[in-house]
Chains A and B, each alone.
Chain A
Amino acid sequence: MSVIQELSRSKRSVSPRRKGDGRWALFFLAPWFVGLALITAGPMGASLYLSFTDYDLLSAPEWVGFENYTRMFDDPRFVNSIGVTFTYVFVSVPLQLAAALGLALLLDKGMRGLALYRSVYYLPSLLGGSVAIAILWRQIFGADGLVNQVLALFGVQGQGWVSHPDYALGTLMALNVWTFGAPMVIFLAGLRQIPQMYYEAASIDGASKFRQFRSVTLPLLTPIIFFNLVLQLIEAFQSFTRAFVVSGGNGGPSDSTLLYTLYLYLKGFGSLDMGYASAMAWFLLLIIGGMTVVNFLASKYWVFYDD
């Protein structure tokens, strides 16, 4: 608190931004650099190398050049998994973020029972990749599940959503939206980070609540929206556990939930084709990396930083 008090006493002036905090950067980044060098870089490099080999985990890898990469595009299951993954990512991520942001705004402050609501909405996200999820999901989207029971009340005959190739991916996306707790918490934290002074200044200026939202909350929340967008995209592209658990491990029915990473895993550990899996991983990295670069470039136009 002392710094803050000193601060408030000191007369503010804008000091020239100093360039070159090299030594300080080294100090602050030291753990990360060590981790990068010792733990992250080696295995990443190894997987890059393995992506150019025929490697079955049980015997030594053999160099095959770009074969794994060229093989991918002749593999119908690979092509299918890309389609499944893009659908999954571009439908469920926006929905999940919208739900998270909406509820975060609703649950931000000034209401009774907030802590309770927040916790209740977060509970599903606590389950993680529990094997129980598969069973729970069948209780909702199965042939005799909750959804169909509700539909039956309206005289609509439902069907086994979770096990129908046309709808299974939809239930998986619903599962992803259902666990919007993580981005919601980040949004909540972001809302709390917005300095009160902005609101006061705005209300002195006579801004309506909606205008306060538009000109204070939203712009100041953009770094967090941006963060959630970038990270949820990265995560959604790598979604694995839920698809694995819900589909019983094979991306079924009939490959309709075969997400990219699930296929990669099945190739690497199921078919013992780790070379191919590694190539898939690096190709995925290119996709996600490209997406992230676009995101960062676009962010210049809509993300507001106060610094």
Chain B
Amino acid sequence: MRKCEVTGVKKLTLSATAKDRYTTYGLVVLIAVAVQLFVSYGNASNSFKGLLVPTCVYVLAALSLNLVVGVSGELSLGQAGFMCIGAYVGATFSVITAESIASDAVRFTIAILLGGIVAGVFGFLIGIPVLRLRGDYLAIVTLAFGEIIKSVCGNLYLSADKNGLFVALDVKAKSAHAFDAATKVDYVNGALGINGIPRTSNIRVNEWAFVICMAVILIAVIVMLNFIDSKQGRAVMAARDNRIAAEAMGVNVTRSKMTAFVMSAFFAGVAGVLYAHNYNVLDTSNFDYNQSILILVFVVLGGMTKMRSVMISTIILYVLPEALRGLNKWRMLIYAIVLIAMMLINNSVAIKKLVEKIQAKFAKGAENKEGGAA
């Protein structure tokens, strides 16, 4: 009897996860189609259109961070650093190949892949030391890496002339270098960043920018949800819930966490590429520690588990304050209060007991009713 019950439950949950997954895919497609129809045929305002691509960027960044914070249970405070790598690599590639690759679609696709892959490689390299650490140490080291990446990108000089590429981390080294003046081109210019990026993901330049971003998000969601349902994904979640028990069961914790970390870095890099191509000029000012925290807020308020809820929370939290301009001043203050309140409600022993008491009362009431009906 009992055995039968268990198998029954298992079947039900399995189909429920599949259903859950398709609901999420459906939601992404629905949002993409509905918003694009509104943009194409409705009279969408310019400020609404301007919000679309940045919202997608933040959704993707939040989804990628959720892989580390929600699925792996490790606090990473350097997500903006991976976005920065993706943005710089993608933008530099697009600037360099702006003339040699004529097709926007081909160039942009390569830029996205390249930005993501380089960010992923950095994720791997950073993951080797970082994933050996735990808890607070891991958080502070990811923060440190984020700041290092930002500092290095902000001091990077990349130029070319007919003699080849020139890279430096110091403006003095650049001015000391003898360039061939006629063929000299500056690609990355220190604190001034990158100039003249083809605005492929800008909705005013490219009508399909939003659909492209949503397609990227859809691919990301498919990859992530399949990962979560895979053996590796389950291993990561087992290690999150009890590391020692998972290790005792033979789970290679470091390896599975690394997979999640690299995947997270990859998609953060892709988000960076999308972000960079929305503007003409790119510098590091938008990839600081505060940006990492903002993305973390989206993830935490999205519940830190389901991709769908993280997506919805990001959309609401990003669009609402932009739409209500008067609220913008108070935005971060309100986020901070909600963040603290949510952690207290979810984790405080006293509040948990109170909730259980109320639930017990309701359950008792329901039982009484059932008894009465019988």
- Does chain A bind chain B? no
Q: Which residues of A contact B (CB under 8 A)?
A: none
